[in-house]
């Protein structure tokens, strides 16, 4: 099969297009003929060589949608031809089995396309339990743009952050896939949204998604401006994926008993804090990663119903994989890049 892959770590130049053996589904698995696959920062981290073992040569792509074309030996053949989108969280039960004993669930949590081979190819094998059928009126590109971003945002804001109607939310890195999803989810929940991004065009785009206030981090001190705009109350919830460059600003922006949700560190993973701002405001700092199967199903239904709509920056042929990596790495994308094999 034709696939996009890398055989060594490095910059976008290590990405290749070539032929790799087509995967064969095992028990409880199916093979998807991929019709659309979306980029994530996970693809950049894997390509750069973060400290975890991945199969080489490596095929990225956690977000994919397509048609079931082959089933494992114990899977009912009636599913052949089904239009499906994939939940990229593998063995999420690892999180939910915490404190229940070493032997209760030994398989570690993984993400499709990061720890395993992914969907940037003509075919991809996935567990059948990780599939959800796509309605006929939903394009593959739209379905593929949603899972990682919307499940992560939903799990963080709703599952971990317990966001309530009438509360206020700060969202950093507001042009990214998860952050654009978070703006929409926050508005759907009836929350006020304060967003931080870079550049006048992205400011306008964030406002078009429903953000009430958007700050250009190159022009203003967002924490100072937010403090004024909230009449010195701060926000109830902050969602951050940037890390070090935004950390102190996020802490300064929090209201009393605020919840700071952390799901990444694209700008720097090592942070320092003045602990006085944490204990004096009685803040909660909460880590978030992906989401469970129920959250996947919930958020995808909202996408299918048109209540949430992924922002797609561009749809590109898979042959332009180097250009896609370069665009995402340079921060020139608002929302999601979707590739078509």
User: What is the reported pLDDT for 98?
Assistant: 57
CATH code of the domain occupying 2-145+311-340: 3.90.180.10
Query: What does the block give as tokens for 41?
Result: 């920062």
Q: What does the pLDDT look like over 58-69, one tens digit per residue?
A: 999 999 999 999
Q: Average per-residue pLDDT in the chain?
A: 93
Domain range 150-287, its CATH number among 3.90.180.10, 3.20.20.140, 3.30.2130.10, 3.40.30.10 = 3.90.180.10
What confidence tier does 220 reach under pLDDT thresholds 50, 70, 90? very high
**Residue 121 to residue 144: CA distance in whole angstroms:** 14
Q: Report helix, strand or coil for 177.
A: helix
- Report field, pTM of the whole predicted structure over 0.85: yes
The ranges of the chain annotated as CATH 3.90.180.10 are 2-145+311-340, 150-287
Burial 295-306 (b: 16+ CB within 10 A, else e): bbebbbebbbee
Give which of 330, 176, 331, 327 is closest to 339, Cα–Cα.
Answer: 327
User: What is the reported pLDDT for 97?
Assistant: 65
For residue 94, is pLDDT > 90? Answer: no
């Amino acid at each position: 099969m034709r696939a996009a892959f890398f055989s060594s770590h490095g910059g976008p130049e290590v990405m290749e297009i070539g032929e790799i053996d087509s995967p064969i589904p095992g028990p409880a698995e199916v093979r998807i003929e991929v019709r659309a696959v979306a980029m994530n920062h996970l693809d950049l981290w894997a390509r750069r060589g973060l400290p975890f073992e991945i199969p080489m040569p490596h095929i990225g792509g956690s977000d994919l949608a397509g048609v079931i074309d082959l089933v494992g030996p114990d899977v009912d053949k009636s599913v052949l031809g089904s239009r499906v989108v994939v939940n990229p969280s593998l063995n999420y039960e690892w999180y939910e089995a915490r404190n229940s004993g070493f032997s209760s669930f030994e398989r570690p949590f993984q993400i499709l396309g990061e720890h395993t081979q992914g969907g940037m190819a003509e075919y991809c094998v996935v567990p059948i339990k990780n599939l959800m059928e796509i309605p006929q009126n939903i394009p593959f590109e739209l379905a593929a743009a949603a899972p990682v971003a919307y499940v992560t945002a939903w799990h963080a804001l709703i599952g971990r952050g317990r966001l309530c109607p009438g509360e206020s939310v700060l969202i950093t890195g507001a042009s990214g896939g998860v952050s654009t999803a978070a703006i929409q989810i926050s508005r759907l929940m009836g929350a006020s949204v304060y967003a931080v991004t870079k550049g006048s065009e992205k400011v306008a785009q964030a406002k078009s998604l429903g953000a009430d206030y958007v700050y250009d981090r190159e022009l203003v001190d967002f924490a100072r401006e937010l403090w004024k705009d909230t009449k010195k109350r701060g926000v109830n919830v902050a969602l951050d994926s940037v890390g070090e460059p935004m950390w102190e600003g996020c802490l300064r922006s929090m209201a009393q008993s605020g919840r700071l949700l952390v799901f990444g560190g694209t700008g720097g993973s090592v942070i320092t804090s003045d602990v006085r701002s944490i204990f004096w405001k009685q803040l909660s700092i909460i880590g978030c990663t992906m989401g469970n199967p129920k959250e996947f199903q919930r958020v995808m239904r909202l996408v299918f119903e048109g209540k949430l709509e992924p922002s797609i920056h561009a749809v590109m042929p898979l042959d332009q994989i180097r250009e896609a990596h370069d665009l995402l790495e340079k921060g020139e994308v608002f929302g999601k890049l979707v590739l078509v094999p």
